[in-house]
Structure 1
Amino acid sequence: MHSVGGVVHGDLTSSNIMVRPTSQAGKTNGEAHAVDQDLSLEGEIVLIDFGLATQSIQDEDRAVDLYVLERAFGSTHPRQEGMFAEEVLESQDGYSGSFKGSRVVLNRLEEVRRRGRKRSMVG
């Protein structure tokens, strides 16, 4: 999302993320879902609710997106909070592996964490 058109979600929480299950061999997506009710997290990630979205190429805006997701993840999924940095931010399948400018944004995320998501009003 950040690399495609410079989209910043503005409300990136787990409530605004859905997983579209991958179909099983020989079955349509609907049939696979009806047979396999195991709530697997395998599939395509789909983001919804772009009501607060903007276009921005600013590392600050991208870092705030990640900060909001991190805070939402920790409050909604506390047992999995420890895996956020490793799986979502740092893995090759996560942010680092999918966004070329991730290192700069992740460094900026450290600054955002220290102060909270609000920008400094000094200046």
Structure 2
Amino acid sequence: MGEVLKQLEEEVIEDFEDETLYERLWGLTEMFPDSLRNATAKSADYTVLGTKKLYRFVRSAMWVGTTGFMILVVPIVFEQERFNMEQQQQQHQRQILLGPTAAVSGVPSGMGMAPPPPSR
């Protein structure tokens, strides 16, 4: 009995042809009406078309955004960094020349102060 079942299984397996997923899906389309198949095909075509257009738009928008950023914002960032470096260098020079307290106050000690008013 076991050998007979084994032979039948082998014969059944040999009778079936291997189908690809595409072949199976194409065979299933025959059970739907033409109007539904056409509507599905059109919606798939429009989806692909819309995706391509969206990709082109996003690509162009990203290019405009990044080049605008590079032209408008990056020079400001560089100038701010240069200004900060100059301030640090001036503070360092004051610290070297006048001592550590001069660098903190920002005004050299003893300079820029008005003399006391004369007393009568």
* Shared fold per TM-score greater than 0.5: no
Q: Give the TM-score taking structure 1 as reference length.
A: 0.19
Q: Give the TM-score taking structure 2 as reference length.
A: 0.19
The answer to which structure has the higher strand fraction is 1
